[in-house]
Structure 1
């Protein structure tokens, strides 16, 4: 019995001595994650998902009787963070806009997301078997990412680079057991900090235009009607730059707005704020820029545009009736 054990040990040493070139450094490729393009309002209301991966590729493997492979992964840093929470921001932006992300290792919708500085997650040989690629000892561990809703942000490219400290101990050949002791002759072990970039493109969008009807009221003479001051409110992406236009209505004649009752017309017009600047659509100078809105909400989503609607002078009072027109409000980025 002792002779057999000695002979087996001798064979193992000879084989190990005979193939020193079988051990080579494991490579650690990374697949970055992208959420694609999402509107700012979708960022606020709905979680977006994406995925990437970390790999430990140790090449071909000789036959093993046992397997003691382990890989551990720990999130150590994020380019942008709030405490231990990884967040995405626009590079160089000082506005404070950010989008927190949830990081799940190997399992989507995990119950315990990774946080910066938390203890490493270690996968044993049984767990690693589901990440093992065909042929050799090459493992790809998936990472799943989701945004956290509730953020009011401006458009732009949001990103962060996550750092994962990865340790591995992989037996790539001649794993045997001797008297209950497991021995790996060709052992690959090492560590590396892997950098994975997560990106989201937030796009401009508008959701609401509030334009109450204009009512001049009732009077016997055109000269008795007063101007009407009202507000159009537009809800668009925070910080977005756009213009608001009003067309000439459905009864316009030679570019002059009219209210109609049958074939009878009353000329009127609409001006920006209390100025004499006509609010139009087809002429660029008559469009109203969001940068010059009358007022802006605290969250910078709603911009208000106060205007004055007035009947044009020099008209003869037409026959009595209900006069109306329909104006279209349009937005252009």
Structure 2
């Protein structure tokens, strides 16, 4: 048999090793890790600090390659952590007790080997800035006989990104823009419209100051992950009302770190 004794780690919490930021000691974000002796990391195969896991019998025979045992260890992070981007590290410490032998033709142990070895494993992880969700509802101006009769639409875009990340959000000009003015199309006909930050006259665009900084979002959740950007969309009244039809456009919303 071979027994792995999980003796400790450089950073721990709730009997598990926890990855901690290596580049900034003032950041307290940690990522708990699970150590398991079997794939799938079921509850019975997880090894917590001060506990052990044993391979024996037919399981141990299946790990034998020549005279070397390749002991499988599986590591998983605990889901649902809210951490900032950066490098994380933790070192796990072990002692290994072994009691193995070479079996002869009649099943006798010819060369028994027993002992204890001490070893450690260092885990490294790099968390990068990313966004996991974005809510971008369609804009519907409904119907009106004249351009000045279309309602102003007030809606929001919501974005969930890495804790503490700084980014900007842009909206492109769509498929039919002319001279940096967005336009919807119905066949060969066009209807100009625009999107503005909150209830201002500041255009929400794709470049420069027209982009929207995360630090200036309309709302932010308590955990700092979800930010909401309120905007208004308007049909421009200083244009000739185009022929009746169904007008549409497609916009792309992007996030840049």
C-alpha deviation, 1:129, in angstroms: 7.0
TM-score, with length taken from structure 1: 0.59
Which whole-Å CA distance do the structure 2 matches of 1:160 and 1:311 have between them? Answer: 56
Which whole-Å CA distance do the structure 2 matches of 1:122 and 1:205 have between them? Answer: 39
What is the match of residue 34 of structure 2?
101
For structure 1, which segment, 75-84 or 239-248, has the greater mean C-alpha deviation from structure 2 after superposition? 239-248
Give unpaired runs (5+ residues) of structure 2.
102-110
For structure 1, which segment, 196-205 or 243-252, has the greater mean C-alpha deviation from structure 2 after superposition? 196-205
| Cα distance change of structure 1 residues 309 and 201 upon mapping to structure 2, 3 Å threshold | same
C-alpha deviation, 1:305, in angstroms: 1.2
Which whole-Å CA distance do the structure 2 matches of 1:188 and 1:324 have between them? Answer: 76
> Secondary structure in 1 aligned to 2:232?
strand
What is the CA deviation profile of residues 186-242 of structure 1, one whole-angstrom value per residue up to 9, with x for unaligned ones?
x996x6642211223334443433222223343343333342221112233344333
What is the match of residue 286 of structure 1?
210
What is the match of residue 46 of structure 2?
113
Is residue 102–residue 148 contact of structure 1 (8 Å, CA) maintained in 2? no
For structure 1, which segment, 257-266 or 246-255, has the greater mean C-alpha deviation from structure 2 after superposition? 257-266
| Cα distance change of structure 1 residues 164 and 220 upon mapping to structure 2, 3 Å threshold | same
Which whole-Å CA distance do the structure 2 matches of 1:261 and 1:125 have between them? Answer: 74
Which whole-Å CA distance do the structure 1 matches of 2:79 and 2:88 have between them? Answer: 14
Which whole-Å CA distance do the structure 2 matches of 1:322 and 1:238 have between them? Answer: 42
Which of the numbers 304, 313, 317 marks the counterpart of 2:228? 304
C-alpha deviation, 1:169, in angstroms: 8.5
Which whole-Å CA distance do the structure 1 matches of 2:186 and 2:56 have between them? Answer: 82
Give unpaired runs (5+ residues) of structure 1.
1-69, 172-183
Q: How does 1:25-40 map to 2 (within 5 A)?
A: none
Is residue 88–residue 101 contact of structure 1 (8 Å, CA) maintained in 2? no
Q: CA RMSD of the aligned region, Å? A: 3.7
Which of the numbers 52, 56, 79 marks the counterpart of 1:149? 79
Which of the numbers 89, 100, 110 marks the counterpart of 2:20? 89
> Secondary structure in 2 aligned to 1:89?
strand
| Cα distance change of structure 1 residues 219 and 131 upon mapping to structure 2, 3 Å threshold | closer
Do residues 254 (structure 1) and 187 (structure 2) align? no
Is residue 244–residue 288 contact of structure 1 (8 Å, CA) maintained in 2? yes
| Cα distance change of structure 1 residues 133 and 267 upon mapping to structure 2, 3 Å threshold | closer
What is the match of residue 162 of structure 1?
92
Which of the numbers 67, 71, 80 marks the counterpart of 2:11? 80
Is residue 152–residue 234 contact of structure 2 (8 Å, CA) maintained in 1? yes
Which whole-Å CA distance do the structure 2 matches of 1:300 and 1:170 have between them? Answer: 53
> Secondary structure in 2 aligned to 1:98?
strand
C-alpha deviation, 1:95, in angstroms: 4.5
Which whole-Å CA distance do the structure 1 matches of 2:244 and 2:57 have between them? Answer: 90
What is the match of residue 23 of structure 1?
none
What is the match of residue 195 of structure 2?
270
Which whole-Å CA distance do the structure 2 matches of 1:72 and 1:316 have between them? Answer: 82
Q: How does 1:1-333 map to 2 (within 5 A)?
A: 73-91=4-22, 92=25, 94-104=27-37, 107-108=38-39, 109=41, 111-118=44-51, 134=66, 141-166=71-96, 193-281=118-206, 283-333=207-257
For structure 1, which segment, 123-132 or 138-147, has the greater mean C-alpha deviation from structure 2 after superposition? 123-132
> Secondary structure in 1 aligned to 2:215?
helix
Is residue 89–residue 99 contact of structure 1 (8 Å, CA) maintained in 2? no
Which whole-Å CA distance do the structure 2 matches of 1:225 and 1:272 have between them? Answer: 19
